Amino acid sequence: MFFDLFSPFVIGFLGSLHCLGMCGPLIVAYSLHMKNEGDSKETPGPSAAKAGLFHHFSFHLGRVFSYGFLGALAAALFYAADVRLLFLNLRGGMTLLGGCFMIFMGLVLLKVLPLPGFLFAPAASHGSFWGRVFPPLFQSGHLASKLALGLLTGFLPCGLSWAMIAKAATTQNIPGGFVTMVAFGLGTVPLLFLTGVSSSFLSLKTRLAGERIAALAVLVMGLILVFKGGRVLV
């Protein structure tokens, strides 16, 4: 049980270097907007800095909750599918499937396999839902706007989070799936929080190194799940 929770946290922590590629620009964008608003005031002082910290906390709270929701949903779906397949002696099939998907996403993160572009095209489009909703949330100074921004960010397509959702699905119970993804999300918080506070990036070389390490960890976890699922099927 400890490994099932600790490993998603470690992958999230290592993968946060990868997360800087997508979430980093979002965080820096609203951080710089808050900084400009603070600079325009006559006396920004400690109160402005404190408000900025609350905005960052709200953003990450929303993002981690979205991860937990997706993990719980995936676990519920896998449980429902596995219950229907019990009478066919395919118990463990969902674990095997989740492991195979994690291996696939690990290879994608390592750039060994390509990921179909159409999976990310809708999110990248300027006329997409994300393109319409994100700008007002960036510009808003309300605390709730950063919570909403975090909630939406958790649903953005990301190979690493997809791989961990597959891991959460193999728990086949809602609390387990929720906690697995929350642990993963919490692992990504420290570096992204620091990025928002400092409004700066790590070097591309460092980010790529963290992405490769996280991808290898995803591969290992996928192989473990395939082994467990295979044993049940045999």
DSSP string over 184-198: HHHHHHHHHHHHHHH
pLDDT at residue 50, rounded to an integer: 60
For 80-94, what is each residue's pLDDT tens digit?
876 555 544 455 666
Measured between alpha carbons, how far is 92 from 103 in angstroms, rounded to an integer? Answer: 17
Enumerate long-range contacts of 87-91, CB under 8 Å, 24 or more apart.
90/233, 91/232, 91/233
Residues of the chain with pLDDT under 50: 39-40, 42-46, 87-89, 118, 122, 124, 200-201
Q: Do 71 and 155 form a contact (C-beta atoms < 8 A)?
A: no
Q: Report the length, in residues, of the chain.
A: 234
For the chain, what are the domain ranges?
2-89+116-158+171-202
- For residue 102, give every residue at least 6 positions away whose Cβ sits within 8 Å of its Cβ, in sequence order, or none: 163, 166, 167, 218, 219, 221, 222, 225
> Residue 200 carries which side chain, given as an amino acid letter?
S
Measured between alpha carbons, how far is 49 from 147 in angstroms, rounded to an integer? Answer: 18
pLDDT at residue 114, rounded to an integer: 75
Measured between alpha carbons, how far is 195 from 27 in angstroms, rounded to an integer? Answer: 7
For 14-36, what is each residue's pLDDT tens digit?
887 767 666 766 776 676 666 55
Measured between alpha carbons, how far is 169 from 184 in angstroms, rounded to an integer? Answer: 13
Measured between alpha carbons, how far is 123 from 133 in angstroms, rounded to an integer? Answer: 11
Q: What is the value of pTM for the model shown?
A: 0.72
Measured between alpha carbons, how far is 211 from 164 in angstroms, rounded to an integer? Answer: 14
